[in-house]
């Protein structure tokens, strides 16, 4: 998984950031309004791509090879453009990162399982926990909604790839 692209989304792309994390991509989110030059420097230092909708980012020399400018559009359009540019696989690494702080999830231990609602404790259910914020993840309705969207994007990506090769 270390060869997967890594990202930093600016503050205009919070929803895309969350879905990139859900798909298993190491994605930071700038919700502090840091200056572009600092964000670009961070991307260079950490080997990340800077995803933004800010057209003025091209004025920075440091943006070359790092910044990817997305057009205005809905989440599905942004996901399709990002997937095509970076050859993303929306499902193979899904649900391996915390949606809140981006940390890699671990298998839940007994202490984490004590915090799971009783109705979610199903036989065979897989539980994961974030080692940073201690949030516990399981396959509830929120998971199913996100999974459905990721699967839809993956099918769209595959069809688009097949169409291009025909």
Strand pairing of 6-9 and 48-52? parallel
- Is the residue at 117 inside a domain? no
d(CA 107, CA 155): 28
| Residue 2, pLDDT score | 52
Q: What are the CA-CA distances from residue 10 to residues 53, 89, 117, 162 (Å)? A: 8, 22, 34, 32
- Is the residue at 123 inside a domain? no
| pTM recorded for the entire structure | 0.92
- Is the residue at 52 inside a domain? yes
- Is the residue at 153 inside a domain? yes
- Is the residue at 57 inside a domain? yes
Task: State the pLDDT confidence band at 1, using cuts at 50, 70 and 90.
Answer: very low
Per residue in 22-52, pLDDT (tens digit) is 999 999 999 888 999 999 999 999 999 999 9
- Domain span at residue 72? 6-97+140-165
Please state the domain count of the chain: 1
**Which residue is associated with the tokens 């509830």?**
140
- Is the residue at 155 inside a domain? yes
């Amino acid at each position: 998984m270390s060869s997967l692209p890594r990202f930093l989304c600016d503050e205009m792309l919070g929803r895309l950031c969350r879905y990139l994390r859900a798909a298993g991509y190491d994605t930071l989110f700038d919700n502090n309004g840091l200056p572009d030059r600092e964000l670009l420097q961070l991307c260079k230092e950490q080997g990340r791509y800077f995803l933004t909708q800010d057209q003025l980012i091209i004025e920075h020399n440091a943006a070359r090879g790092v910044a990817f400018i997305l057009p205005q559009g809905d989440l599905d359009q942004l996901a399709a453009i990002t997937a095509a540019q970076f050859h993303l696989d929306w499902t193979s690494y899904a649900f391996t990162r915390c949606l809140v702080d981006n940390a890699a999830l671990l298998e839940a231990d007994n202490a984490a399982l004590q915090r799971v609602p009783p109705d979610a404790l199903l036989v065979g259910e897989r539980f994961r926990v974030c080692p940073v914020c201690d949030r516990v993840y399981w396959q509830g309705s929120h998971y199913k909604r996100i999974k459905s969207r990721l699967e839809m994007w993956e099918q769209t990506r595959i069809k688009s790839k097949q169409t291009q090769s025909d």
